[in-house]
Structure 1
């Protein structure tokens, strides 16, 4: 989020942070008591608590649930039943999760408590940035935000991606109008292409004011640079003439961007043209926006693949990954924003939700659940959330590693999602392993003229035996070079990827013959943009979109298959 000039003083914010993180147990216990006192008589909790609100009864009687368990209750409210089916606080609208991690969009309740939490995290975020980066609040943010038009539930309640609900709130409207290069009219444009173009045009005109370049995910920033590569000549023409392209038909966008342009500016157009016309785009962000101090976006999980690309475009500016947010709740914040992207850990804020943690014990398979203050350093957990939005002991499906503590508040590193995995037989290959395998495969490409731009996985059981399929979109490192594929090199990539997997996969592949040779299917350039456009047409938000690590959509797979133009297989089983 943006930096806010109306924050409490740094000393006041520091005191808030210290109080919260020193008194984690008390804050958590008080929060749970408040949640239960308000919601004990909802239809959902009444069955388990019988109107009471004590912690021990809650832990004994209220079950741990997944989205599938609570979906019927959520749908009842969406269909017109009162909010107190699950929440004593009025549910005024719903949010959609992106649907690109677990394969299905989730419809989740949204109320003012959620928004209050996001506002708190935003203020804390600004405090932390100001602490670590001098004069970060003195300029503007070139922020690539987009919204989705509202749909409605059968009862008429609005339903949009969570980012849209947040961006449309009064607080964030005011924040953006003060601190972003793009007026709200650009963010609220319903056409993402027009919005992207106007974000860039406004940002280029105000290039001397930009102190940070930001988006929700690293993939969105890379997509913005790719868009700039395609449209920089037209953008320069707009700036030179002081006129917006005719295809920008959104009247609000046209009017506000025309005002920002302020008339012809051939000098600026020539400068941008000179930078964009160079053979290499290395450092293009700092060349176009010279006062940029940092890049901000999520670079954990599957976004790690974009770190090297962003470093290339930004002359290795700090890449800051600040907030741990989800469609269900806000969870924590990175209190060490200048750490390396691979070292990002989030300090859980005890006032966001009541947190419990299910120990991930693959060896003993024992179900151990502990409170936030009782997690152990070096252990892996899955977070359970109880919130004011009607979720009680809800499994987040995120596996986290405890990396340290800030006062008494645990710090967690995101490892992988539980519901993202591949399997042919009884083996399970997790998101973490799949990402590591791709990273190893990319290293094989380093000596070539090829670079990986996007990927996804699929377990193909139509063959006997079934096998893992890795879809790769590749491009030449030099933009003028024709894409040429070396069979020996790509076969080596297949073998290297396979060698990354665990003992059980390698046993089934090498000794038992239950898994077939890993396959890399190379798709045509632009294929993953088509996949993204498909998911957006299905309701995903451009802000929240992430290429699925494991592809489950039949329609998206059909898009990929239609664009496959080369196939490569590992030519030997991995060492066993």
Structure 2
């Protein structure tokens, strides 16, 4: 080991010492989740009691968990959004004891409007603590790969897409945290945070590779593994130009990059003719250039989601990256981090009982008017639940629609894995398409295109090259192919209008164009009868699902042919 490397590793151990102590204390806390959670809940209620939300829900009078559940309903984002709108306009006391909102983290919601989650100092403290504990454990599990204090490839988003009326920035949380990192930490990230402002997908991936290809990368990190697959494909497709830029210290001029971002990046494009020659020889010999040809799998780690619908992408990773360890990032979203995986090779993570108060509703009771509600200490291994977090930044008994399964326990605290967005969502590459998006899009397009639709459902379809969504229509509705193609084009576009994440995934090429999967006449009537017979209930109350999240749904249908958009 070189002296520089030795000193960097020693520095890393000094920096992480407080986090290692914190991790030990957290593991002790996991022995008594009920006490830890109750203390956190009542501390949160006391802190937020004088906010408008706290007064409206009588926080001052709450003395027990039962009273909390009486005063505050289980509710989605729409319930708290009127208070958040006041915060957007500068009235932070409507929802928050904090007088400063650093930003609003944007996420796609269950309606056409994007959700804005207030990010406060308390939010960032909890978010960083969870990341730090996750990171220390991940590094500890991979000591032999010597990944400490080596560069990381991570693509972030735009930390400021727009500002509220009160001047508060709204954007991507990962982009914001990258922007406010300390200088030493920024050095470890090969891709500068400003690249999040590059809107063109090809340019964004290319720049990320240009910034990384000459560095001794240790980790490749993205929430959704589809991002890593696209990065790998871009590397191979653009290898000749990338290696020329690496050799010459340039950044190709034909990329769609905002002038100010290009001006920032250009001086940072280092020249490395030796490395370019080495990689050119590799590409000539193999006839390709994949990440595993640039960064050896023996000395790298992949960090991404591994639960839910990620399986098809995870199966493609070895083709491009070899077989480095894959560590799950945990259940985290713009709303916060909810689990901390403390082991590799699993999508399960321990509940972050220090940061949020958690309640759970059994999977089969989520639509019940009076469902069973359980605390973290009451869950059973092997059972599935909808998770309801209460946070220190304005989300209370928040129905985020995340379905999780208990896989074991850390001490007495549940280990849970993410299963999906419940029966109302579909999620191939992070688009989180909801039935609300689908029905709104159909209503809008029906006013423009006279396409007959006897019955329909939209479903995700897995394809190794480019997954897509299909709308399942019956044969008589597909008689006019030209009209159907126009309908598909309009519907595909409208889905992007209803859901900005769907539009982004279509633009980046991670999702293919919408298709029509044509089934025989009468298929849907029989399907509904069979489903009603299986689930019970009365025909009057039965609702045909307009969105089916099952990746294997197409396999169950007798598809005659497919029609693509115009």
Q: Is the alpha carbon distance of 1:381 and 1:83 closer, same or farther for their aligned partners in structure 2, counting shifts above 3 Å?
A: same
Taking the TM superposition and a 5 Å limit, the aligned residue runs for 1:158-177 are: 158-169=169-180, 172-174=181-183, 176-177=185-186
| Aligned residue in 2 for 1:63 | 73
2:402 aligned with 1:398: yes
| Aligned residue in 1 for 2:138 | 129
Correspondence for 1:293 among 268, 280, 300:
300
Q: Residue by residue, what CA displacement relative to the aligned partner does 1:20-59 show, whole Å, maximum 9, x if unpaired?
A: 2123222211111111111112212213326334234322
| Aligned residue in 1 for 2:339 | 332
2:354 aligned with 1:351: yes
| Aligned residue in 2 for 1:284 | 290
Q: How many residues align?
A: 484
Q: Is the alpha carbon distance of 1:162 and 1:15 closer, same or farther for their aligned partners in structure 2, counting shifts above 3 Å?
A: same
Taking the TM superposition and a 5 Å limit, the aligned residue runs for 1:298-317 are: 298-317=305-324
Larger deviation: 135-144 or 101-110? 101-110
2:376 aligned with 1:376: no
Contact 1:31 1:354 in 2 (8 A): yes
Q: Is the alpha carbon distance of 1:415 and 1:196 closer, same or farther for their aligned partners in structure 2, counting shifts above 3 Å?
A: same
User: What's the secondary structure of 1:323's corresponding residue?
Assistant: coil
TM-score by length of 2: 0.73
**Aligned-residue offset at 1:298:** 1.8
2:210 aligned with 1:201: yes
| Aligned residue in 2 for 1:488 | none
Q: Is the alpha carbon distance of 1:274 and 1:105 closer, same or farther for their aligned partners in structure 2, counting shifts above 3 Å?
A: farther
Correspondence for 2:88 among 66, 78, 97:
78
Contact 1:40 1:53 in 2 (8 A): no
Contact 1:20 1:349 in 2 (8 A): no
Contact 2:178 2:186 in 1 (8 A): no
Contact 2:52 2:94 in 1 (8 A): yes
Larger deviation: 296-305 or 8-17? 8-17
Contact 1:92 1:110 in 2 (8 A): yes
**Aligned-residue offset at 1:152:** 1.2
Query: Which structure has the highest strand share of the two?
Result: 1
Q: Is the alpha carbon distance of 1:25 and 1:472 closer, same or farther for their aligned partners in structure 2, counting shifts above 3 Å?
A: closer
Taking the TM superposition and a 5 Å limit, the aligned residue runs for 1:43-442 are: 43-49=52-58, 51-56=60-65, 57-80=67-90, 82-99=91-108, 104-134=113-143, 135-169=146-180, 172-174=181-183, 176-186=185-195, 193-206=202-215, 209-247=216-254, 250=259, 253=262, 258-261=267-270, 263=271, 265=273, 267-276=274-283, 284-290=290-296, 292-337=299-344, 339=345, 343-361=346-364, 365=368, 367-418=371-422, 420-421=424-425, 431=426
Correspondence for 1:33 among 42, 63, 71:
42
User: What's the secondary structure of 2:420's corresponding residue?
Assistant: strand
Q: Residue by residue, what CA displacement relative to the aligned partner does 1:425-482 show, whole Å, maximum 9, x if unpaired?
A: xxxxxx4xx98xx9xxxxxxxxxxxxxxxx99968796453133457686879xxxxx
Quick one: distance in 2 between partners of 1:329 and 1:53? 25
Quick one: distance in 2 between partners of 1:468 and 1:120? 42
Contact 1:86 1:390 in 2 (8 A): yes
Quick one: distance in 1 between partners of 2:137 and 2:423? 32
Contact 1:94 1:107 in 2 (8 A): no
Quick one: distance in 1 between partners of 2:403 and 2:195? 36
Larger deviation: 240-249 or 120-129? 240-249
Larger deviation: 87-96 or 40-49? 87-96
Q: Is the alpha carbon distance of 1:71 and 1:294 closer, same or farther for their aligned partners in structure 2, counting shifts above 3 Å?
A: same
Structure 2 unmatched ranges of 5 or more: 1-10, 444-450, 531-566
Quick one: distance in 2 between partners of 1:119 and 1:470? 36
Q: Is the alpha carbon distance of 1:353 and 1:474 closer, same or farther for their aligned partners in structure 2, counting shifts above 3 Å?
A: closer
**Aligned-residue offset at 1:411:** 0.9
Quick one: distance in 2 between partners of 1:546 and 1:538? 10
User: What's the secondary structure of 1:98's corresponding residue?
Assistant: strand
**Aligned-residue offset at 1:336:** 1.5
**Aligned-residue offset at 1:115:** 0.4
RMSD between aligned residues: 4.5
**Aligned-residue offset at 1:79:** 2.5
| Aligned residue in 2 for 1:465 | 454
**Aligned-residue offset at 1:230:** 3.3
Q: Residue by residue, what CA displacement relative to the aligned partner does 1:192-235 show, whole Å, maximum 9, x if unpaired?
A: 654432321121111xx212212232121122223223322211
**Aligned-residue offset at 1:124:** 0.3
Q: Is the alpha carbon distance of 1:384 and 1:475 closer, same or farther for their aligned partners in structure 2, counting shifts above 3 Å?
A: closer
Structure 1 unmatched ranges of 5 or more: 422-430, 439-454, 478-493, 499-508, 549-555
Q: Is the alpha carbon distance of 1:63 and 1:401 closer, same or farther for their aligned partners in structure 2, counting shifts above 3 Å?
A: same
Q: Residue by residue, what CA displacement relative to the aligned partner does 1:360-412 show, whole Å, maximum 9, x if unpaired?
A: 22599461111111112222211112111111111121111111101011111
User: What's the secondary structure of 2:315's corresponding residue?
Assistant: helix
TM-score by length of 1: 0.72
**Aligned-residue offset at 1:127:** 1.2
User: What's the secondary structure of 1:36's corresponding residue?
Assistant: helix
| Aligned residue in 2 for 1:424 | none
User: What's the secondary structure of 1:361's corresponding residue?
Assistant: helix
Q: Is the alpha carbon distance of 1:468 and 1:323 closer, same or farther for their aligned partners in structure 2, counting shifts above 3 Å?
A: same
Q: Is the alpha carbon distance of 1:52 and 1:100 closer, same or farther for their aligned partners in structure 2, counting shifts above 3 Å?
A: closer
Q: Residue by residue, what CA displacement relative to the aligned partner does 1:49-72 show, whole Å, maximum 9, x if unpaired?
A: 263342343222222221111111
Quick one: distance in 2 between partners of 1:420 and 1:46? 33
